[in-house]
Structure 1
């Protein structure tokens, strides 16, 4: 599908309105692409991120970045379909399969996370995720199943 964004969304305050996570636990800061079957998010890894350690973004940070990218897809879809003031839905990771961390990105790295929706049934999403840097180097990948608990 074609990108439904007129332009990339880089307003962090707006991004925070689309996901249920709050500071200091926000692991995305850009919406780069949106369509019904895919979302691409961005994150600049900074030294003040609570999921950094020894100058690197941690494994937990990468997994959370993936999960929040899924939440961003649902949040933006809700924003354009149901209303600008709707609260983002809360969910959780139901399962993670084939998770591979190829390298830990250094502070200062710009992450580009692509989520492809494989299947969506009611409040459950099955997705394939890749995290790359701006040079296209694969940093991490996985499949996740997420479940929305707010109906």
Structure 2
């Protein structure tokens, strides 16, 4: 597939409208790529982030970044179908498989998170996720199954 974005979305207010999470629990700040089967998000880790500790982004922060990247895919898909008034759907992680944290990134690191949809049946998605730094070093990876509970 090809990127369906005309340009990267870096407007944090728009990003926040595309996901159900709210401050201080927002772990993405850019939409870099979108197609029906893939999304790439970006996030610059802040020292004030609730999941940063002693100068590093925690394991929980990496997992939450992955989950929010999945939510961003669904949110943007709804946004382009329903327009600006569409509300992001609420969901949850049904399972996490093969989660590997290779390295905790330092505060200030720019994360690039790639989500590829392996299968999608009704409101359940199975995805493969990789989190890299801007230099392309693999920081974390996993497979997640997510379930949408808000079917509006």
Same fold, judged at TM 0.5 (above): yes
| Partner residue, 2:73 | 73
For residues 46-65 of structure 1, the aligned pairs below 5 Å read: 46-65=46-65
Unmatched segments (≥5 aa) in structure 1? none
Aligned pair count reads 151
The TM-score normalised by the length of structure 1 is 0.99
Equivalent-residue separation in structure 2 for 1:140 and 1:146 (angstroms): 18
CA–CA separation in structure 2 for the residues paired with 1:126 and 1:89 = 17
Equivalent residue, structure 1, for 2:109? 109
TM-score normalised according to structure 2 size: 0.99
Equivalent residue number for residue 148 of structure 1? 148
- Counterpart CA distance in 2 for 1:13 and 1:86 is 14
Question: CA offsets per residue over residues 22-53 of structure 1, 9 Å max, x none?
Answer: 00000000000000000000000010100000
Larger mean CA deviation between 129-138 and 76-85 belongs to 76-85
RMSD (Å), alpha carbons? 0.4
Structure 2 CA distance for aligned equivalents of residues 107 and 150 of structure 1: 33
Q: Deviations over 1:70-89 (max 9, x none)?
A: 00000000000122111100
Gaps of 5+ in 2: none
